[in-house]
Structure 1
Amino acid sequence: MSYLNPDKDKMSPLQRNLLRLLRVFLLVSGVYILIFGGANGAERIFGLLILVALVIINAPAFFTRGRLRAIPVEIELILLAMVLFELVGGDALGLYVRIPFYDNFMHFMLPLFIALIGMMVVYTMYFYGKLQASYGVMAFIIVIMTIGFGAILEMGEYTYDTYLADGPIGTITGNTQMQGSPTQGPLDDTMNDFFTDTAGGIVGAALGVWLIRRNEKKGEHWKVADEVGKIIN
């Protein structure tokens, strides 16, 4: 197993091909953006962040020469998609500014991804007897946690815009204001973000419940619990 040749015995052909495609694309994108910049040629910091994200995601497998895979393939695919949409699309290519509703899209997709990962974790705890709760309660807990995560992001955006955007850090990131969008003022943008964060969290949690029940109808369990269980047990 290597970065460009994922272990085919631990994933489906579709997962393996998607993983390989995302890994290669993000590696090339990270190097290119680091050297040449992004949409305006001044977004090199995001190229560095892309490469750092790839290192963090793949560090366990690299340093153990493939003996340890700390991140299940389902979670790695989600994390790579988050890097693609946020650091490559939203930041380096400036889609937050170029596409009017890209901010809404991201405030829906990121909570969806986070909620789905959260459902993987709580289901694993349930499967191994460490959590006693119905699937509805699991989903509710994950949605509330996702809304909290969205609130933290909004506080981070406010802090950046108020105290950092006009300083040295702002110069590195292009002095872009994070609150507000081409179609909304800062207040409307913030409140709309909360609503889309909530919607994304609900959809992600519901998708997790659907995947659990789909496998149970087949007389099986959600296989992601096997890999996640190796981490939390």
Structure 2
Amino acid sequence: MSFLNPEEKDVNQFERKILIIMRVFLLIAGIYITIFGGINGSERIFGVLILFALLIINAPAFFTRHKIRAIPIEIELLILFMVLFELVCGDALGLYVKLPHYDNFMHFMLPLYVALIGMMAVYTMYYYGRLKASYWEMAILIVIITIGFGGMLEMGEYTYDKFLANGPVGEITGNTQMQGSPTQNALDDTMNDLFTDTLGGIVGAVLGVFFIRRAEKSGGHWKVADEIERMGEP
């Protein structure tokens, strides 16, 4: 097993190929953006963040010689797509500025991914007897957590705009204002983001219930629970 040769056991081969493509693409993109910058040549920090994300994802398994298992392929793919849409497309390629509604798209997709990963985690606890709840109770819990996650993002954006955008940190990131957009003022943008975060969280949680139900109809269970449970095993 390696960066270009993910674990093959119990892994869908299509997912495995997509994972390899995403790893290689983001590695190349991270190196290129770190050296040359993004759309304006001044976005090198986002290249560093891309490489850092790849390091964090793969470091535990690498440095422990796989005594700590790599995260499940489903979760890694979701994280890599977050990195792609946020750091590569949104930041390095400037789609947040170029496309008026790209911010809305991201405030839908990121909570969706977070909610789906959350459903994987709580279902694992449920399946292995550490949580007692119905699937819809799990979904409601994850939606509430996702809304909190969206609120934290908005507080982060406000803090950046208020205290960091015009200082040394702003110079590194291009002095871009996080709140507001070409079509909305800061307040409308914030509230729109929160509503969109909530919608994304609901869709992600419902997808989680769908995948659970689909697995049960096939006479089994959502296999990602086994992968998550095995992560800490030698």
Interval of TM-score (by shorter of Structure 1 and Structure 2):
over 0.9
Q: Does the alignment pair 1:87 with 2:87?
A: yes
- Post-superposition Cα deviations, 1:174-232, rounded to whole Å, max 9, x if no partner, equal 00000011211111100000010000000000000000000001110000000111247
% same residue? 70
Q: Is the 8 A contact 1:115 1:143 kept in 2?
A: yes
Which secondary structure does the structure 2 equivalent of 1:9 belong to? Answer: coil
Gaps of 5+ in 2: none
Residue type at the aligned position of 1:201: G
- Post-superposition Cα deviations, 1:143-196, rounded to whole Å, max 9, x if no partner, equal 000000000000000000000000000000000000011211111100000010
Once residues 163 and 20 of structure 1 are traced to their aligned partners in structure 2, the CA distance between those partners, rounded to angstroms, is 39
Which secondary structure does the structure 2 equivalent of 1:19 belong to? Answer: helix
Give the equivalent residue in structure 2 for 1:23.
23
Once residues 232 and 189 of structure 1 are traced to their aligned partners in structure 2, the CA distance between those partners, rounded to angstroms, is 41
Q: Is the 8 A contact 2:112 2:200 kept in 1?
A: yes
Q: Which stretch shifts more, 147-156 or 62-71?
A: 62-71
Once residues 89 and 77 of structure 2 are traced to their aligned partners in structure 1, the CA distance between those partners, rounded to angstroms, is 16
Residue type at the aligned position of 2:83: V
Give the equivalent residue in structure 1 for 2:11.
11
Give, in angstroms, the shift of residue 9 of structure 1. Answer: 2.5
Q: Is the 8 A contact 2:69 2:231 kept in 1?
A: no
Q: Is the 8 A contact 1:43 1:92 kept in 2?
A: yes
Q: Does the alignment pair 1:224 with 2:216?
A: no
Residue type at the aligned position of 1:138: M
Once residues 179 and 155 of structure 1 are traced to their aligned partners in structure 2, the CA distance between those partners, rounded to angstroms, is 10
Gaps of 5+ in 1: none
Give, in angstroms, the shift of residue 48 of structure 1. Answer: 0.3
- Post-superposition Cα deviations, 1:121-143, rounded to whole Å, max 9, x if no partner, equal 00000001100000110000000
Once residues 232 and 145 of structure 2 are traced to their aligned partners in structure 1, the CA distance between those partners, rounded to angstroms, is 19
Q: Does the alignment pair 1:127 with 2:127?
A: yes
Give the equivalent residue in structure 2 for 1:47.
47
Give the equivalent residue in structure 1 for 2:63.
63
TM-score of the pair, normalised by structure 1: 0.97
Q: Is the 8 A contact 1:2 1:66 kept in 2?
A: no
Give the equivalent residue in structure 2 for 1:168.
168
Q: Is the 8 A contact 1:86 1:106 kept in 2?
A: yes
Q: Is the 8 A contact 1:72 1:224 kept in 2?
A: yes
Q: Is the 8 A contact 1:215 1:221 kept in 2?
A: yes
Once residues 183 and 226 of structure 2 are traced to their aligned partners in structure 1, the CA distance between those partners, rounded to angstroms, is 45
Give, in angstroms, the shift of residue 67 of structure 1. Answer: 4.6
Give the equivalent residue in structure 2 for 1:72.
72
TM-score of the pair, normalised by structure 2: 0.97
Give, in angstroms, the shift of residue 70 of structure 1. Answer: 3.5
Q: Which stretch shifts more, 165-174 or 68-77?
A: 68-77
State the number of aligned residues: 233
Which secondary structure does the structure 1 equivalent of 2:9 belong to? Answer: helix
- How large is the Cα RMSD of the aligned pairs? 1.1
Residue type at the aligned position of 2:205: A
Q: Which stretch shifts more, 3-12 or 195-204?
A: 3-12
Give, in angstroms, the shift of residue 10 of structure 1. Answer: 3.5
